[in-house]
Amino acid sequence: MASRKESINVLITDESIGVFQQGEKNQPVLSQMIELDKHVIDNGYIKEPEVFLSVLKTFFKENKIKAHRLNMIIHDQNLLIREFVIQKSELQKKTIVDYIHAQTGRTLHFPFEEANIAYVVKSETETEIKVIGIITDENLLQDYYDVFDRLGIRHVNFNIPANVLYHLNQVSNQNSASRIMLVSVFDRMLTINVMEDAVPAFSMIEETEENLEKYDEMIENYIERVANYYKFNIKKGEVSIEQVVLFNFARTIEDAHLEKQIKPEIKDLSFSIFDKQSIIQSVGENLEVCFMAYGEQFVAKSEDIHHFHFNVERVKPINRYANYLLVLAFTIFTLTTLIYIPLYTFNEDINIQTNKNNILQHQIDALNNDSPDVTDYTQIEKNYSNAYDMINDQITNPSDYFRDLLSQVSGSLEVVRTSLNSDANEIKILISSTSEMELYEYLILIYEAYGITNGDDPSRWMVSQPERRFVSSLVMEVTVYYA
């Protein structure tokens, strides 16, 4: 089979990739679903780029695809639709996209760092311009472009589901309604887009884990609420939705069920479920994921000017190679300054220190030769020395006892004089106070704290009750004995 060189259309979800490529000449249509492992794509963002690239490479190789152009539909969960009213006096020499970017962080706030904006002018007067902006994450587009670039695809167009479904409905049903609500039903998600003459006027997305009955009620409720909101809030009661078209992408819900449960409840609106039978022959069994990829070809062929293709600025190959050279040069410079030069200097320091160590070793050897022999003590002498050291370590310095006694001095108590008789293990301390009661309390405190009891407590060292002698009515000499 010859290689497929026509452009290829894809819709990528967290679970799968829907691919559609119109056959050229005698080639059959390529319509296929590619299953993805969990967490390769998460909420539309590529989490495992190498795995994602490997899946696409395998698919392209098996189907002999060498397309140089790819059309990708960005999922509704990665899109924001906003209406901007811009005064022409504020534009001056700015483009509309530059003006919107300038408002980011001031009057506009997006849930991502850098926005990519496509827009269409909805209406214009002498003083102002009304613009519909489609906004997505620039980094998300760049990540997909990186993968497609490695597949050899040089031209990538990013489109929005509402635009695809609108044109598909126009082609399939020859619908001429100017205000149409497009409702997309997925297994765990509902999206609603209102289009005015091929231009989005409203968009919403709602996820759910409800059972089928509750899901039916939610679909009915949102259709009616959005229709009322559009009529009374956006259009101030002047016009209303002309037609509601429901697209069923859910694998677990049949069209017949939606026809039976929802259509009778939508009484005041022209409601219909998109008939997929007309495209089953082209799309095949993979209808759910290949449906929008199939519809993208009608957007490309449409004469409508509102294509909403996002402009993704890419780094030119020559600039990329220049950046690689700069990175390589910086890496070499970094390795030289941070690794080689410090390593060389470190080796020099090691050699210098080694020479110093050798000189010191020679000096030690010379000193050892000149030093007298160390006396060899007997074991009995060593035992006596060890016993003395052990006993000496256990002797308490009387200064510790002084600190204990002074630590109990408080209030108006003042130490006048202290003395120590080490032969009698006696400490005398002369204290004064403004109250005789405080003097007596001091005696009680030190004995309670340091008097020896029946227990083995090294902190209790006082062998008897402290003795007292009044030098005057408010000056008392205290005598204590330690063990």
**Claim to verify: residue 203 and residue 172 sit in the same structural domain:** yes
Distance CA 372, CA 10 (A): 94
**Claim to verify: residue 323 and residue 286 sit in the same structural domain:** no
**Claim to verify: residue 230 and residue 286 sit in the same structural domain:** yes
130, β-bridge pairs? 85, 123
Tally of domains within the chain:
3
| Average pLDDT, rounded, for the chain | 85
Q: Which domain holds residue 270?
A: 45-314
Q: Is residue 362 part of a domain?
A: yes
* More confident site: 45 or 31: 45
Q: In which band, very low, low, confident or very high, does the pLDDT at 29 lie, cut at 50, 70 and 90? A: confident
**Claim to verify: residue 75 and residue 198 sit in the same structural domain:** yes
Q: In 3D, which of 397, 395, 396, 417 has the Cα closest to residue 406?
A: 417
Q: pLDDT value at position 378?
A: 86
Residue-wise pLDDT tens digits, 364-375: 888 888 777 667
Q: In which band, very low, low, confident or very high, does the pLDDT at 303 lie, cut at 50, 70 and 90? A: low
What CATH number does residue 448 fall under?
3.30.1360.100
What CATH number does residue 85 fall under?
3.30.420.260
What residues contact residue 129 under an 8 Å CB cut-off, 6+ apart? 85, 86, 88, 91, 96, 121, 123
Beta-carbon count within 10 A of 232 CB: 12
Phi (first) and psi of residue 31, to 5 degrees = -135, 115
Angle between helix 398-407 and helix 436-450 axes, rounded to 10 deg: 130
Residue-wise pLDDT tens digits, 148-161: 999 989 889 888 88
Q: Is residue 3 part of a domain?
A: no
Task: Give the whole-number percent of the chain exceeding pLDDT 90.
Answer: 26
The answer to whether the predicted template modeling score (pTM) of the entire model surpasses 0.85 is: no
**Claim to verify: residue 270 and residue 345 sit in the same structural domain:** no
Q: Name the CA dihedral angle for 8, 12, 15, 17, rounded to a multiple of 10 degrees.
A: 0
Q: pLDDT value at position 300?
A: 64
**Claim to verify: residue 299 and residue 416 sit in the same structural domain:** no
Distance CA 378, CA 360 (A): 33
Q: Is residue 6 part of a domain?
A: no
Q: In the structure encoding, which two tokens stand for residue 330, read together?
A: 């910086």
Q: Is residue 218 part of a domain?
A: yes
Residue-wise pLDDT tens digits, 411-461: 899 999 999 888 888 999 999 999 989 989 998 999 888 888 776 777 788
